[in-house]
Amino acid sequence: MKKGNHKKAILCVSGIMLVIVVFGICFFLYQMIHGVENQLKIKLKGKNTVIVMVSNPYKDNGSVAFYGKKDLSKTIKVKGKVDTNKIGIYQLKYIIQYKKLVKTITRTVKVVDKILPEIQLSGDEVSIIIGNDYHEPGYVASDNYDGDLTDKVKVTNNINKDQLGEYQVIYEVLDSSQNKAIKTRKVNVIAKPSVASGGQGIAVLNYHFFYDQSRGETCNESICEEISQFKSHLKWLNDNGYKTLTMKEFRDWMYGYTELPEKSVLITIDDGAMGTGKHNGYTLIPALEEYNAHATLFLITGWWDIRNYQGSKYLEIESHTNDMHNEGWCSGVTRGAKMLCQDNETVKADLLRSIEITNSKMAFCFPFYAYDQKSLNIVKEVGFELAFVGGSRKAKRSDNKWLIPRYPVMNYHTLDNIIQMVS
């Protein structure tokens, strides 16, 4: 080899060696740095993605971190928050920092709603007389997350009012998570009743106050009913297959829109005093709920707050005037209640105020069963569809719809007496 070429070869080899040395140093440093970094590890405890039902508590499983064999789990910081009251996707970021090294890991939490909404129908199946229109008894829909969904219910039916037969009304509702609830009501289109069946009567029972001896409560008035005695009435009705009516069911029957089972009874309570509300004993509603019995409270709306009686699907509230329940107010009139001797505008204003509070014109109850032609006319004028008095006999369709008779129930009435009233 020539001398010049030899020198060039030496320089070339030297360059190559230098590159190798530099590369080796860099690789060593890289391995050293990343070897140190790789000693820092963080890992989730539990699943990377967690599904939680809305409103249920979320308990985080946490994470663990180590540097080599050194446990750093207690120094892990977590960023992010899960709101289980709100549907959505949440990210929790777990961060470990040690010797200027930082590592992170993420968990996804999905808050979902898989609970179906609920639809509650007012009343049971319905029977309408052929040729009559179907009157919807009513329904409410609610959801564990969305709340009231009543206005979102889709109602469809295939009822042919001019053709005898059995039909269905279908109620459907979707919540915001697309969970669907479906409920159906059976509707029977039946033949016109014969003269004999048209004579059906329905007992309307009229209670007032309730007390519970087991709680040391007493009541000396004849219209006070000890709660265990009232429950014995409800139990007998339930055990013997009686249908306790909503006011709408009774109204529809009175107007000839529908037929009702022979074993039907309407339970009414007057005033709103002892034992009827949350503020004065609260014995009525629990008794109704125990036996799934419907009843209507005729409330003196100006005397007691209507909110004390709300919250149960088994108790409806109708008007007993706003402030006209004053016995003996009118001189010379037997049990003359205040509404009999006030001027027309005063009485009308009182009834309209009561309607505003109850949000219903379906039914009215005359104070002390007292009425005259003037008060009767005003009750009709303000729009009440039914009105009740006394009379101690069953109600029939042939009765004046604004003078419907009831059986006043006294504390001396035995269960046998109640059975005689409804049978």
Per-residue pLDDT in tens (0 to 9) along the chain, 423 residues = 555 555 655 555 566 666 555 555 554 444 454 555 688 999 999 999 999 999 999 999 999 999 999 999 999 999 999 999 999 999 999 999 998 899 999 999 999 999 999 999 987 788 888 888 888 888 999 999 999 999 999 999 999 999 999 999 999 999 999 999 999 999 999 887 654 444 689 999 999 999 999 999 999 999 999 999 999 999 999 999 999 999 999 999 998 888 889 999 999 999 999 999 999 989 999 999 999 999 999 999 999 999 999 999 999 999 999 999 998 888 877 778 899 999 999 999 999 999 999 999 999 999 999 999 999 999 999 999 999 999 999 999 999 999 999 999 999 999 999 999 999
Q: Structure tokens of 114?
A: 């898989």
What's the one-letter identity of residue 274? M
pTM: 0.64
Q: How far is CA 35 from CA 31, 84, 104, in A?
A: 6, 41, 18
CATH class of 197-422: alpha beta
Return the residue matching tokens 């979320």: 58
What's the one-letter identity of residue 184? T
Return the C-alpha torsion angle 278, 282, 287, 293, nearest 10.
-40
What are φ and ψ of residue 217, in 5° steps? -85, 145
Q: How many CA atoms lie within 13 A of 123 on its CB side?
A: 25
Q: Where are the domains of the chain?
A: 40-112, 118-190, 197-422
Q: Are 90 and 109 in contact (CB under 8 A)?
A: yes
Q: Determine the CATH number of domain 40-112.
A: 2.60.40.10
Q: Structure tokens of 144?
A: 């564990």
Q: How far is CA 297 from CA 13, 259, 269, 382, in A?
A: 109, 24, 5, 20
Domain 118-190 has CATH 3.40.50.12500: no
Do 40-112 and 197-422 show the same overall fold?
no
CB pairs under 8 A, 24+ apart, for 408-414?
408/206, 408/223, 409/205, 409/206, 409/207, 409/223, 409/225, 410/222, 410/223, 411/221, 411/222, 411/223, 411/224, 411/225, 411/226, 411/229, 412/222
